[in-house]
Copies of this chain bind each other. A is one copy, B any other.
Amino acid sequence: MNTNVFRNLSYGVYVVTTLDGSRPTGCVANSVMQITSSPATIAVSMNHDNYTNDCMKRAGVFAVSILSEKSDPSLIGQFGFQSGRDTDKFAGVSYEEQEHLPVLTDCCGYIVCKIIDQMETNTHTVFLGEVIDGDSKGTDPAMTYAYYHKVIKGKSPKNAPTYLSEEETEKTETLAKKETWVCSVCGYVYDGETPFEELPDSFTCPLCKMPKEKFIKK
């Protein structure tokens, strides 16, 4: 089996949110799809290790904020590469409430769901949600995972279904490249014109906002 084939499946980039008691929390997901149109239901896949998974099960509800190509990529660092167990993921993030659930202001649409079924695998839960509200916002096109990967140069966190181990990724990607600087926190590959060593010390990862010293040479 050649696991690179999974890269040919097309996804969007979403922030799935729910409530931890009364505290908003959430994480980045790619695996969201509509299952039925009437009544509308969607499925979301969520790793057992994501704190959002526990919170979704307790709250019984979740919301999906659909990121657009114009959404601030640091949202992906904020929601994708830290845990809601020990971080307030919403710190400094603008959001509104829809059906009592947090929805990011900086997105091109949202869907609010009540969980009506779930299917367990060894690492992920597939939640089936009946849509109770949803709306489009603005006209910016939705961010696809391909756009995130190719244009924003982002990677998958380890809990994502789309995660490929570093070895597999390097096998297909680096090839001719001699030296790259990679954010050790989120995997962002520095791609600017200024040589990395000459960047100011104030440089931070555009994805997860970690400081320059978190980058490692590969």
Residues on A lying within 8 angstroms of B by beta carbon are 1-12, 30-43, 45, 66, 108-111, 117, 119, 121-124, 126, 128, 131-136, 141-146, 160-164
Contact = CB atoms under 8 A, between A and B. Distances in A.
A39 to B, nearest CB: 8
- Copies of chain A in the complex: 2
Contact of A136 (B2, B32, B40): B2
Given A5-B66, A9-B66, A128-B119, A37 B163 contact: yes
16 contacts: A1-B132, A1-B135, A5-B110, A6-B40, A9-B12, A9-B34, A10-B144, A31-B34, A33-B43, A35-B121, A35-B161, A36-B161, A37-B162, A117-B119, A121-B128, A144-B146
A162 B143 CA distance: 18
A200 to B, nearest CB: 36
